[in-house]
Structure 1
Amino acid sequence: MFAVRTLARPAVATATSLSNAVQVRNMATLKEIQLRLKSVSNISKITKSMKMIASTKVAKAQRAMENARAYGNANNAVFLSAETKPASDSNSIFIAASSDRGLCGGIHSTVAKYTRNAIGGRPDVQVVVLGDKAKAQLSRTHRAAIALSFNQIGKDIPTFAEASAIVDIIKSSGVEFDNAHIVYNKFLSAISYEATAVEAYSEDTFKNSPNFAAFELEDDVLENLQEFTFANNVYWALVEGHAAEMAAKRSAMENATKNAGEMINKLTLTYNRGRQAVITNELIDIITGASAL
């Protein structure tokens, strides 16, 4: 009888050590899950706040976009009436309008992709980049083609003064062109957008239009008109791109908040299951110890 009790003691000790190991491992896991749950909850609060901020900015951006569209359509009506078209061997430049801000999905990638496809394999084309996001993407494939770049764009709704300053720097830098393709994200709805381009022409290109004589413009007036229409189209592209960016950011933050909520539910369920398993193991240990006594 003494031998049987002596042999049983190591088995009981082994079972107790295994139970303690499982309990310690579960406690560590529960602590990690609890920390992860707290981290995801904080991220959910941040994304929810960013969604609310983006929602307030979307309304203001849309109102500014409607005004910019009116002036932009007036520009296009002038060129359409004059039947302005660049020559087949014209010197073209591309202006990619984006911003410096992220957390808005792939909205900047569409501008960079459209610009790359439009440039194609032409080595003599120059590119002007508005915003650091498009610059980083275009630098990977067309670094040598980038003539100018601008940053500090996208913090607030763009203004016509900013567009005029950009045009002044482009003209003073010596970048010559017959027509400029201004690539931007066209606002379609609160959840959709597409990359497109609006044209701007030089004085000579506009002067060579078939119906230019009907306008009866003096040379100094023509120069002012060309600068105004160029700045106006840049302003249109920036403002409409900003509205599309704010809508995309709101959608991205809404999806991020939704994903964080789903992850919180899964982590909470996992934590409760693990905690229940630890409680069950402790009850088993108590009942086993009481039975042994």
Structure 2
Amino acid sequence: MLARSSLARATVAAPATLGRAPAGARNMATLREIELRLKSVRNIEKITKSMKMIASTKLAKAQRAMNSGKEYGVANVEVFDHAKSDQPSENKIIIVISSDKGLCGGIHSSVTKATRRLLAGAPDAPIKTDVSPDTPIFIVGDKSKAQLSRATGGNLRMTFNQIGKDVPTFSDASAVTDLIIKSGVPFDSAIIVYNKFVSAISYESAAVEVKGEKALKESDGFKAYEMEDDVTKDLAEFSLANAIFSALTEAHACEISARRNAMDNASKNATDMIGSLQMQYNRGRQAAITNELVDIITGASAL
């Protein structure tokens, strides 16, 4: 009878004993998680370092293209300085220059915020000019489109993408200009909002105003000469294409520089995280080894 009771108690207690996790199971699971996270962070570090290297290689090419593109902008400024007009432009449009790519810090948010300040008439707007809150907006790049469509979706007239995947060309600027003119939105001047290249580690939002055909005709500099209508129209379209090309090349250089800096910071953060996780892993592993040694020594002492 006593043997049967002992057998029954042993049978009831057996499942709990068999199902119980080992003493170091929690520690082993934690070490495994840390090991997997270490592997993930190391892979991310390899990617960010590669992207930084690629951006550094592209930056020199982008800066050369920017310096060439700026010559077009200088020619525009020279024309508009000699074609000043006191009459205000009634119809204006805003052209926002960004890109479709991310992983480059807050460079797209920079032009988005500048556009919002411009529409709100803020004193820190990138250019001093009168712009109504319902001014039509044309956007180059999906990133700024996604940001501006939430707050100023009613102002959007046309968006462009797949521009700036490589170094922008004058053909890209000409295509954008042609579609803006064919959109049917009347304008006397166009305000181009873009990122201005300051140095390899900094940039700032800027804006430039390009006069349209009507504003050029009414300027004193053009009234002094007898010119055909087609000449003024072609000059206005060419000036807008010049300004867009100059802004595209400068914004592209800013984007490449910002991406290089962002990937550099990401690589440094990954390195710091790897060091922290490695120390945490070593401490956990040492604790697990110590616990096992204690169990072994305790068992040996008991025997």
Q: Which runs of 5+ in 2 are unaligned?
A: 1-17, 122-131
Task: Tell me the residue number matched to 2:104.
Answer: 104
Task: Tell me the residue number matched to 1:33.
Answer: 34
Q: Cα 1:64–1:218, aligned 2, differ >3 Å: closer, same or farther?
A: same
Task: Tell me the residue number matched to 1:66.
Answer: 67
Q: Distance in 2 between matches of 1:133 and 1:104?
A: 11
Q: Distance in 2 between matches of 1:86 and 1:171?
A: 22
Task: Tell me the residue number matched to 1:95.
Answer: 95
Deviation of 1:115 after TM superposition, in Å, equals: 0.6
* RMSD over aligned Cα atoms: 1.8
Deviation of 1:85 after TM superposition, in Å, equals: 5.5
TM-score, structure 1 as length reference: 0.90
Q: Distance in 1 between matches of 2:97 and 2:224?
A: 33
SS of residue matched to 1:82: coil
Matches within 5 A, 1:108-147: 108-120=108-120, 122-147=132-157
SS of residue matched to 1:102: coil
Q: Which amino acid aligns with 1:138?
A: L
SS of residue matched to 1:101: coil
Mapped contact 1:51–1:254 kept (Cα < 8 A) = yes
Deviation of 1:215 after TM superposition, in Å, equals: 5.5
Q: Cα 1:215–1:62, aligned 2, differ >3 Å: closer, same or farther?
A: farther
Mapped contact 1:47–1:254 kept (Cα < 8 A) = yes
Q: Choose which of 231, 239, 252 in structure 2 pairs with 1:221.
A: 231
Q: Which runs of 5+ in 1 are unaligned?
A: 1-16
Task: Tell me the residue number matched to 1:190.
Answer: 200
Mapped contact 2:194–2:205 kept (Cα < 8 A) = yes
Mapped contact 2:201–2:258 kept (Cα < 8 A) = yes
Mapped contact 1:101–1:154 kept (Cα < 8 A) = no
Mapped contact 1:206–1:212 kept (Cα < 8 A) = yes
Task: Tell me the residue number matched to 1:51.
Answer: 52
Q: Distance in 1 between matches of 2:271 and 2:48?
A: 11
Deviation of 1:221 after TM superposition, in Å, equals: 1.9
Task: Tell me the residue number matched to 2:261.
Answer: 251
SS of residue matched to 1:28: helix
Length, aligned pairs only: 276
Task: Tell me the residue number matched to 2:167.
Answer: 157
Q: Distance in 1 between matches of 2:261 and 2:226?
A: 49
Task: Tell me the residue number matched to 2:82.
Answer: 81
Q: Distance in 1 between matches of 2:87 and 2:146?
A: 30
Q: Which amino acid aligns with 1:46?
A: I
**Dislocated runs of 4+, deviation >6 Å:** none
Mapped contact 1:85–1:205 kept (Cα < 8 A) = no
Q: Which amino acid aligns with 2:222?
A: F
Q: Which amino acid aligns with 1:43?
A: I
TM-score, structure 2 as length reference: 0.87
Q: Distance in 1 between matches of 2:233 and 2:287?
A: 80
Mapped contact 1:93–1:127 kept (Cα < 8 A) = yes
SS of residue matched to 2:220: coil
Deviation of 1:71 after TM superposition, in Å, equals: 1.4
